[in-house]
Amino acid sequence: MLAFDFFGATEGGLFDINATLPLMAIQVVALTYILNSLFFKPVGNVVEKREKFVSNNIMDAKNKLSEVEKLEADLLSQLQSARSEAQKIVSEAENESDKLYKEALELANNEANASKEKARLEIENQTSSARDQLFKQADELSELIVNRLILEK
């Protein structure tokens, strides 16, 4: 019943063991070799080159990204130090401005006080001078009145 018998194989069955099996095996091997050498190796080489190119680009991108992150961190630290330095300079300028303002205010107050004192002394001198002059004129007038009264009698 079997179409396959090692000792008395019938022809035309499912499996015929004759010279066609090795010939078919040789054809498969030859076709595999030809396809491999003509199509698969070049395509494989192109795929490998592409894969290397992509992996190299990925590695370059990672390296550049790490450099950018380092530069960003460096710039951030420089920015922080610049901000703190600017804040320090602004604070010093404000302190210096306050100091100059206070000195100018004190100088203006001192000048105003000196001017006020000078004016007060001048007014006192003028008042004293005017009083002395008034007393002198009053004495002269009283003397004149007394003299006229005495002469009229």
Average pLDDT rounded to a whole number, residues 57-65: 96
CA distance 149 to 142: 10
Average pLDDT rounded to a whole number, residues 110-134: 92
Burial letters 113-151, b for 16+ CB under 10 A, else e: eeeeeeeeeeeeeeeeeeeeeeeeeeeeeeeeeeeeeee
pLDDT of residue 4: 47
CA distance 97 to 95: 5
Residue 31 has pLDDT above 70, yes or no: yes
Average pLDDT rounded to a whole number, residues 27-31: 93
90-92-93 Cα angle (round to 5): 60
User: pLDDT by residue (tens digit) across 69-116?
Assistant: 999 999 999 999 999 999 999 999 999 999 999 999 999 999 999 999
pLDDT of residue 114: 93
pTM of the model: 0.45
Residue 127 has pLDDT above 70, yes or no: yes
Q: Give me the chain's average pLDDT, please.
A: 87
Residue 1 has pLDDT above 70, yes or no: no
**Quick one: pLDDT band at residue 12, thresholds 50, 70, 90?**
low
- In this predicted structure, which of 33-42, 52-61, 108-117 has the lowest mean pLDDT? 33-42
